[in-house]
Amino acid sequence: MKPSANKQYFVKQLLQWNSDDNKREMPWKGEKDPYKIWLSEIILQQTRVDQGLDYYNRFVTAFPNVHALAKAPETTVFKLWEGLGYYTRCKNLIATANYISTDLKGKFPDVYEEILALKGVGPYTAAAVGSFAFNLPRAVVDGNVFRVLARYFGMATPTDSIEGKRLFTGLAHELLDKNNPAAYNQALMDFGATVCKPQQPACAVCVLKKKCSACNSGSVNQLPVKEKSIKKKTRFFYYIVAEYKGEVYVRKREPKDIWENLYEFILLENNQPLPVENGKDWELLSALTGQVILETEHISGVYKQLLTHQIIYGQFIKIKLKKPLTLKGFEKVDKAGLALLPFPKFITNYLKDKAVSLNLF
């Protein structure tokens, strides 16, 4: 079969599969409101669909249109986002909502280049919004697309290389059904998510297996190829939950680090684990608070959170103070106030611990 015929076969079989066998249901499928499509795509950046689904529903309920989102207090939006991670997405979401609501009077841009210029929107998201909302002939290119194309066409060029991105993006645009880009893009994304999966792909029932290069050569598990491995930095966080008269000290995290705009307790970061088991005698606590600690109430077990480029380990030390602290950037909140603030997952896991919640105040 000639290369051009092979491409035609790919497109025809994919669209036929989408029409006859694609049973993947999601609330934003078939949606034409660019606001809701954009919202779903921002939530799903670096997030699994099963995790992002509830967040999407909560956001649409709380903010049914871009004006509602733009008017919402920033802390409220971050609290609703809490647990999704990659919080720069939320910051960009707020900025873009304000721009569309105020500068564009609520009208979402319908030109690809203008969608791409929105804060937090890259080529993939711009293509998704453009094709689904406005039927723009733009191909989506993400991990699912890389995987399907690499396996079917037997492409061993690393997907994370400059050359690989150029080749895969060019092929994706060549294959795109220009008359129905929304259906084609959705079909390709769903096919990668449900059939041509990263692990345990459903090759036995795949409509493309007859002409799939990887399936016929036994190289399914070797494709796609990536040339870079992520090196993770390890950090050790020790949070002092300092209570004075029923209130604890918290602050909003500074920019240019993880968890920007989220809240935290008093933090001591170290480049290696600290022996905090003997909390009453831990001189660092007294040095940090500048006073003799009235009581060390509990020391948590070790918590762990995996980020893309970092591994966070740490513990929480709950102390009672004899007198109030004077710490720049910190505020005191009671139990009710604590529940309204957005925290990183590392801290929310601690706060959700039943033993902790019963004894925090």
Q: Which residues contact 25 (CB under 8 A, 6 or more apart)?
A: none
For residue range 101-128, list pLDDT tens digits in order.
Answer: 999 999 999 999 999 999 999 999 999 9
- Is 41 a known active-site residue? yes
Strand ranges inside 108-265, DSSP E: 233-244, 247-252, 263-264
For residue range 267-304, list pLDDT tens digits in order.
Answer: 988 888 877 765 544 555 665 555 555 567 788 889 99
- Is residue 147 located within the same domain as residue 286? no
- Residue 202 pLDDT: 94
Radius of gyration in angstroms for the set of CA atoms belonging to the chain, rounded to a whole number = 25
For residue range 339-359, list pLDDT tens digits in order.
Answer: 999 999 999 999 988 556 556
Ramachandran region, residue 257 (left: φ > 0; alpha: ψ -120 to 50; beta: rest):
beta
**Closest Cα partner for 124 from 185, 71, 73, 175?**
185
Alpha-helical (H) ranges within 48-87 are 49-62, 66-71, 74-81
Q: Which residues contact 53 (CB under 8 A, 6 or more apart)?
A: 26, 27
Of 159, 191, 222, the position where a domain reaches its end is: 222
- Residue 323 pLDDT: 83
Q: What is the CATH number of the domain that holds 339?
A: 3.90.79.10
**Closest Cα partner for 152 from 234, 215, 197, 92?**
215
DSSP tag of 329: T
- Is residue 97 located within the same domain as residue 118? yes
Residues present in the chain in total: 361
**Closest Cα partner for 37 from 122, 132, 135, 124?**
132
Of 222, 242, 272, the position where a domain reaches its end is: 222
For residue range 166-195, list pLDDT tens digits in order.
Answer: 999 999 999 999 989 999 999 999 999 999
Q: What is the CATH number of the domain that holds 85?
A: 1.10.340.30
Number of structural domains (the chain) is 2
Of 200, 222, 244, the position where a domain reaches its end is: 222
3-class secondary-structure state, position 25: coil
User: Token digits for 161?
Assistant: 């290389």
State the residue range of the domain holding 291: 233-359
Mean pLDDT confidence for 207-214: 94
pTM of the predicted model, to two decimals? 0.82
- Mean pLDDT, the chain, whole residue set: 88
- Is residue 204 located within the same domain as residue 246? no
**Active-site choice (25, 41, 174, 227):** 41
Of 18-22, 37-41, 142-146, 301-305, which has the strongest mean pLDDT?
A: 37-41
- Is residue 46 located within the same domain as residue 167? yes
- Is residue 197 located within the same domain as residue 240? no
